[in-house]
Structure 1
């Protein structure tokens, strides 16, 4: 049963005993493919709230939506060993959640790190994937984008009020996101920070930063082309922020070459990652998902 906020909270155990969290929007519908939402490195289920509400209550194609908090983020338990904050372990946690929920197949939307986790799922359990939507991520992660992420994670915002946090986020990301309006910035801040008696607190384990600061950015990260190629039998969409530093146009072009028919959307005035509920993006995603029911055997 869906709560008054449009979702229910779902808790389940990881294989190593952590209490993990997801949100469930809408209801199971045999005629509609469920959607699984996977957030970025330090982000959580609140990133998808408006988007998940839209999909789960769509007047023509309502569908069940499940958004996951990885270990160490949002309402999921923190891991005492920070090295477990890796995409293989996190993919396994997602599998555990879907198995508990009894979801054998779904369309996946991965923002940033969430897209890397989709790559892992492609080789861990390809049959689970009905379609894949990559939000500003691909098999190659640009060092310039990682350097930018590391720079603001190493110097976290210190603010006493949400208004101060919002101003700080505008200063950090404003040049990359000129298309955002005031309500977008407010929504972004409320997604990143939890309210601790009126004080904003970044909603993730501070130890998570170790996964970025320990990277040697002089060396390219291993590319995931083999994992991406495993997706060549399912529909794929790639969303790229016009001002992103993490996903290059060259990588998108190579993805398109390897996966002919892949749908590519460029989002003007946004960087990494584009907000799914802005402009007409959510409607375009809904149309893409609607095609899945027209090709049920794919």
Structure 2
């Protein structure tokens, strides 16, 4: 029998993001999905996949910003992976995994009657995008990997765990908020306290007792206990290769601890055709709110989502899958080199 999962808290950060719930997987997880714009057979939609403990709030301003650029008019699908945001957590006897998250994304595409789509994945979300492409290549017509690659950087995993433990140990709400500002300022130096507080609200909400509660299942943190700061995790270049058929954009922030420079350089060596974007003065997740980032993303998405007149959109073969067996994923115990 499945053990009941905990309930995640509600947050006003989602007030402008109405969702529908889509059932996914054998456990019947309810996945929260927000659609911005109108889904159409003539223009490929853009699916936004957040990072490991992140949620759709990281992308909440992106659709409107992109669609300010002439010639866009794109539809966006924002989602919360299981156990994050407004999606229900997994039953307690089921483990979180990148494989399950990828299947969740594919279930969302099926439920919305979406064939090919362009995926934007941040951090862990990018690995989910790669695995979705490995499982059903013809579903992925293009991808944007933001601080994400086929080599998981243990530094980011350990910092996520350490930061969460520190916040939950603080009994004083003002002390916890101050600690969050300090943590966020390492990724976003120079931002105001008000801006840092807004970024903190994407991950934590204050409960009626004044304590901060995470907008994700804390079992996601428990699954990071296996990692150490200096771990060297096994590369998964075959997953990166699953995107070989699709137009690709690779984004890296200057202060990222999720995508090492050496991995970024090797990705470009293997995909010299990829569009690139470097964001200075930021860490993960990338804010994607500057004019330069907006215009670069819009240009890539227009070229992929709106093919030139006379060209057909990528076709979709429902049962097309690669024969990958038990890929080593960022949420599973990883072999070390």
SS at match of 1:156: helix
Distance 1:27 1:160 in 2: 45
Q: Match for residue 19 of structure 1?
A: 30
Is 1:191 the equivalent of 2:202? Answer: yes
Distance 1:179 1:287 in 2: 28
Distance 1:56 1:226 in 2: 34
Q: Comparing both chains, which one has the higher relative contact order based on Cα–Cα distances under 8 Å and sequence gaps of 6 or more? A: 2
Per-residue deviation, residues 76-128 of structure 1 (Å, max 9, x unmatched): 11112365311000111111111000011111110111011011112111111
C-alpha displacement of 1:72: 0.8
TM-score, normalising length from structure 1? 0.89
Higher mean alpha-carbon deviation, 109-118 vs 23-32, is at 23-32
Higher mean alpha-carbon deviation, 208-217 vs 39-48, is at 208-217
C-alpha displacement of 1:14: 1.3
Q: Match for residue 86 of structure 2?
A: 75
Q: Match for residue 270 of structure 2?
A: 258
Residue 294 (structure 1) aligned to one of 298, 307, 316: 307
Q: Match for residue 106 of structure 1?
A: 117
Map 1:222-261 to 2 at 5 A: 222-261=234-273
**Distance change in 2, residues 1:85/1:57 (3 Å):** farther
C-alpha displacement of 1:248: 1.2
Contact kept in structure 2, 1:32 and 1:61, CA below 8 Å: no
SS at match of 2:288: coil
Per-residue deviation, residues 42-84 of structure 1 (Å, max 9, x unmatched): 1111111011332356553111111111111111111123653
Is 1:133 the equivalent of 2:144? Answer: yes
Structure 2 gap ranges (5+): 1-14, 315-337
**Distance change in 2, residues 1:29/1:121 (3 Å):** same
Higher mean alpha-carbon deviation, 86-95 vs 74-83, is at 74-83
Q: Which runs of 4+ in 1 moved over 6 A?
A: none
Contact kept in structure 1, 2:133 and 2:242, CA below 8 Å: yes
Structure 1 gap ranges (5+): none
Distance 2:163 2:249 in 1: 29
Higher helix share: 1
Please give the root-mean-square deviation of Cα atoms over the aligned residues, in Å: 2.5
Contact kept in structure 2, 1:166 and 1:185, CA below 8 Å: no
Contact kept in structure 2, 1:7 and 1:26, CA below 8 Å: no
Q: Match for residue 63 of structure 1?
A: 74
Q: Match for residue 45 of structure 2?
A: 34
Per-residue deviation, residues 19-60 of structure 1 (Å, max 9, x unmatched): 221111111244422100000111111111011332356553
Q: Match for residue 96 of structure 2?
A: 85
TM-score, normalising length from structure 2? 0.79
